[in-house]
Chains A and B, each alone.
Chain A
């Protein structure tokens, strides 16, 4: 106990980690639901519909299914590395989220100054890149340890792809670093405060539009998503590096992929879209009510949907969701809670929009060929992000000599 009393940081951090993990795990599960629903509607289908109202309990059913499937290990596999690989992938994907600030540097919870981030590191961005740079091992080791043709080919492709696009990913971000003059996420966000013409937010996406496009492309490739999902191209490689994985180990790769998507979207929000900054000027005080009112509107719509379209047990389930939304909306309007939720609300809204973009590309674009992928990465993306970097540096030198 004395040890704990001497290190209050430990207790606070552990509480934050527990809360963050709970939220992130739920978000991962519902991201799969979100993706399936959006893809389905793009393709004129309904998507998950039967487990719970609007298929809302589908992630739970999937989780239970993953837990009870037989866990097969190929006899020729390198057992230790085979088990290590999914843990590696998932834990690294979740670690990066500890660096993401979800709200302003200091927020008062019960009168105590608190930071809405697990670790406010001075060199947050470098640390994030350090963690993602060793993320390759999850994929590479999974393919190697399976001791099977398709996983090995898949993981070789995937490692080559991740190494290639990591260069462009890092270079595309340096422009933002030059503008902000700091590696710290909170300082990068604060540097984007202010407005063009008194109402248009001064986010980095405007001066760094080229950097943003490079970042977005490289990020999609880095997370092995369509149109860069060659590592798991079904028609050529069965399922790529995770062909031999089953049951919960497969689920861990699945969660790692979604976790990486969330991290990359959070990073895009911080670097290019002003993080937790509101898009409206500070003088518009009514914007404080937006989170609560938005949730209440959602609750009203859900109530209408419950009464109008749902029957039987689905009606009860949706009624519960409606009550939760209404309760949260009222909570957000409470004067003690209102200042706390502002930052996270805008941050999460931007992240969800970028995630929607991710899913949208998956529903729209066909897959690259492998040689196209490589030449695109090295011959187009890398030079463009380099030119962007040089141009930004020149601009800063001219503007602030």
Chain B
């Protein structure tokens, strides 16, 4: 077993465990912490694929900025423990089988795809074709300049919209 292979399963398991904790935890802060765990282990998985830039940005943007605001708001509102209702019958009788079916279908598909084959052969090793940061930025600012700028304008509009909504008189 190669080291990247072990690390892949380690971080994969941590990500799944974090995602489960996120739903199960009753304290909002614990849920937020689990989400951070998921994001950081996803970043580690990106790193294993050789995508260094995406990995660092994943941590900076999601774990470092978005989740900080989540935690900040939870602290500010001093949100209490979640209330639980009885689970709906729908979830028990329709949702659970569907989820299991979906997982099995995914596993089947993965096992018969190219990705599945490489993973089974002990890969997960750094992708040689991984793009360097320099190439990535020149692609963003030359080839895909229009979509890139359009996205940033979209984000700007969203920020302005939030400001307008927050400032609206009662």
The interface of chain A, by Cβ under 8 A from chain B, is: 7, 10, 78, 80-81, 84, 121-123, 126-127, 129-131, 133-134, 136-137, 140-141, 143-145, 152, 155-156, 159-160, 163, 181, 183
A-B contact pairs, 5 of them (CB 8 A): A84-B33, A122-B133, A130-B60, A133-B64, A140-B68
Contact indicator per residue, chain B 53-85, by CB within 8 Å of chain A (1) or not (0): 100110110011100100110011000000000
Interface of B is mostly: helix
Among B27, B40, B72, B134, which residue has its beta carbon within 8 angstroms of that of A140? Answer: B72
Residues of A within 8 A of B134 (CB): 181
How many A-B Cβ pairs are below 8 Å? 76
The interface of chain B, by Cβ under 8 A from chain A, is: 3, 27, 29-30, 33, 36, 40, 43, 52-53, 56-57, 59-60, 63-65, 68, 71-72, 75-76, 132-134
B60 A144 Cβ-Cβ under 8 A: no
Among B40, B56, B72, which residue has its beta carbon within 8 angstroms of that of A126? Answer: B56
A137 B36 Cβ-Cβ under 8 A: yes
Among A121, A152, A159, A183, which residue has its beta carbon within 8 angstroms of that of B68? Answer: A159
Distance of A129 Cα from B59 Cα, bound (Å): 9
Query: Smallest CB–CB gap between B9 and chain A, Å?
Result: 16
Query: Smallest CB–CB gap between A153 and chain B, Å?
Result: 10
Residues of A within 8 A of B59 (CB): 130-131, 133-134
Interface of A is mostly: helix
- Decide: A141 near B36, CB < 8 A? Known: A123-B133, A126-B60, A133-B64: no
B63 A159 Cβ-Cβ under 8 A: no
B58 — nearest CB in chain A belongs to which residue? Answer: A130
B56 A140 Cβ-Cβ under 8 A: no
> Can you name 9 extra interface pairs (CB under 8 A) apart from A137-B71, A143-B75, A159-B71?
A78-B29, A122-B52, A123-B52, A126-B133, A127-B56, A130-B64, A141-B71, A144-B71, A156-B76
Query: Smallest CB–CB gap between B124 and chain A, Å?
Result: 15
* Most chain A Cβ neighbours within 10 Å, of B36, B40, B56, B57: B56
Distance of A26 Cα from B63 Cα, bound (Å): 31
A134 B36 Cβ-Cβ under 8 A: yes
